Amino acid sequence: MVRQRAQDNPPAAGRPGSRAAGQPGSRAAGQPGSRAAGHANGTGGSASQPGSRASDRSGGPGYGGGVALSLAISPCPNDTFVFHALVHGQVPSAPPVEVTYADVDVTNTAAERGAFDLVKVSYAALPWLLDDYHLLPCGGALGRGCGPLVLTRGDGNGNGNGAGGPDRTDLTGATVAVPGDRTTAYLLFRLWSAGRPPARIEVVPFHQIMPGVAAGRYDAGLVIHEARFTYPRHGLTALVDLGEWWEADTGLPIPLGAILARRGAVDPEAAAGWIRDSVRRAWADPAASRDYVLAHAQEMEPDVVDRHIGLYVNEFTADLGDAGFAAVEALLGRAADAGLVPQTSSSRATAWTS
């Protein structure tokens, strides 16, 4: 197993559908060549047409005889902050890119078809993707204090109209809205609620989850990213922080989103170098990406954007390191033992040059 280590550190702080719980279901799939819609955080954002050069990016040296690299990321602030330099042709060794912005559930599905050369996916989707993609040790979202939340109405102690108190049994019989059935958030939820699952799971576009819970359409909702900063505005309470649960149970950071490089299309070592260069440039000059980040985070206040970046862009963004790889192996290993994902050998889950 080969792992390339980075020496950089961040500055301080700085589909509608339903089914019975635990049952597989169909997922919305963005088709290459069609306009990808959505936001990994459910807050809007623009989408670029796959197969066309993004208008917010300058050119760069060619790749593979002048062919541009296809890249799919979310429009959420951590992704646009990290990839700003790469998208805008500011990484000297990198090729030009054709960028698509899409919800992570869409990119998970598209990656199963090998739709993109570089793609942001959920770590939970890796067992279905590693035959065709390398896991890169950088660029993704992994950390501490940044896990998914289970939200309900009421005060979290059984008062109000929510799902009830903090014990997992309180969701028995409940309908829970989730952002995707192969998202890391949902995988963590299934591990947490093992043995006492809710009665019904509904896959819902992320931006509809908090309003739906507040309106009583769902008893609880599973949310990620900036929702941890904004859920009180909806009159909701956090029943459980799945990141805190995971960290207390394992001592490891929580692996959320991964960057993959398509086998046979992209040299993973080169791709890791481009991404790390882009990360270094983002940290060195945060103001350079500001307009780009805010343009895609259309419904976020600047202070929420800053908190979002400060939480999700961290030392693991530059290099997963031993703790990051251990977290990935622990998540997939536990999920496989529980029969939630296919078995994946640790070498294939963590080696990006094999």
Tens-digit pLDDT profile for residues 57-116: 333 333 555 679 999 999 999 999 999 999 999 999 999 999 999 989 899 999 999 999
User: 70 and 50 in one domain?
Assistant: yes
Which residues sit in the known binding site for substrate? 120-122, 184-185
Q: Domain range holding 116?
A: 28-144+253-350
Domain boundary among the residues 217, 250, 283 is at 250
Q: Check if the beta carbon of residue 235 is closer than 8 Å to that of residue 210.
A: no
pLDDT tens digits along 220-255:
999 987 788 889 999 999 999 999 999 999 999 999
Taking only the tens place, the pLDDT of each residue in 114-157 is 999 999 999 999 999 999 999 999 999 999 999 999 999 975 44
Query: Could you tell me if residue 205 is inside a domain?
Result: yes
Structural domains of the chain, count:
2
Return the higher-pLDDT residue of 170 and 353. 170
Would the pLDDT of 20 be above 70?
Answer: no
pLDDT at 351 over 80: no
Examine the fold and report which residue of 250, 280, 311 is the final residue of a domain before the chain moves on.
250
> Which parts are annotated binding residues?
120-122, 184-185
Q: Do the domain assignments include residue 180? A: yes
- Whether the pLDDT of residue 262 is over 90: the answer is yes
Asked if the structure places residue 9 within a domain, the reply is no
In a domain, 341, yes or no: yes
CA distances from 165 to 161, 224, 345 (A): 11, 20, 38
Judgement on whether residues 129 and 183 belong to the same structural domain of the protein: no
Could you give the CA distance from residue 189 to residue 21 in angstroms, rounded to a whole number? 11
As a whole number, mean pLDDT of residues 260-264 equals 96
Catalytic annotation present for 225 = yes
Same domain, yes or no: 222 and 311? no
| pLDDT exceeds cutoff 60 at 307 | yes
**126 and 59 co-located in one domain:** yes
Q: Residue 206: inside a domain, yes or no?
A: yes
The model's confidence at residue 51, banded by pLDDT at 50, 70 and 90, is very low
Same domain, 85 and 202: no
Asked if the model's pLDDT at residue 267 lies above 60, the reply is yes
Question: Which of 51-60, 116-125, 170-179, 271-280 shows the lowest per-residue confidence on average (mean pLDDT)?
Answer: 51-60
Of 35-49, 180-194, 197-211, 292-306, the range with the lowest mean pLDDT is 35-49
The model's confidence at residue 45, banded by pLDDT at 50, 70 and 90, is: very low
Domain contains 164: yes
Q: Are residues 183 and 323 in the same domain?
A: no
Instruction: Say whether both 334 and 296 belong to one domain.
Output: yes
| Distance between start and end Cα atoms, the chain | 7
Tell me: do 243 and 156 sit in the same domain. yes
Instruction: List, in order, residues 6 or more apart from 80 with CB less than 8 Å away.
Output: 73, 87, 289, 292, 293, 296, 297
Please identify, among 196, 218, 250, the residue that sits at the C-terminal boundary of a domain. 250
Q: Which pLDDT band, with edges at 50, 70 and 90, does 352 fall under?
A: low
Residue ranges with strand state E in the chain: 17-20, 69-73, 97-101, 118-122, 133-135, 141-143, 149-153, 175-178, 200-203, 220-223, 236-241, 254-262
Residue 1 lies inside a defined structural domain of this protein: no
CATH number at residue 271: 3.40.190.10
> 189 versus 206: which is more confidently predicted?
189
**Pick the catalytic residue: 84, 225, 234, 296?**
225
Average pLDDT, the chain: 81
Asked if residue 319 belongs to a domain, the reply is: yes
What tens digit of pLDDT does each residue of 153-174 get? Answer: 975 444 444 444 444 447 989 9
pLDDT at 25: 36
> Are residues 265 and 277 part of one domain?
yes
Looking at the structure, tell me whether residues 174 and 239 fall in a common domain. Answer: yes
The whole-number pLDDT of residue 205 equals 87
> Are 267 and 243 in the same domain?
no
pLDDT mean over 269-288: 98
191-205, 212-226, 339-353: least confidently modelled range = 339-353
Give the pLDDT confidence score for residue 3 in this predicted structure.
39
294 and 281: one domain? Answer: yes
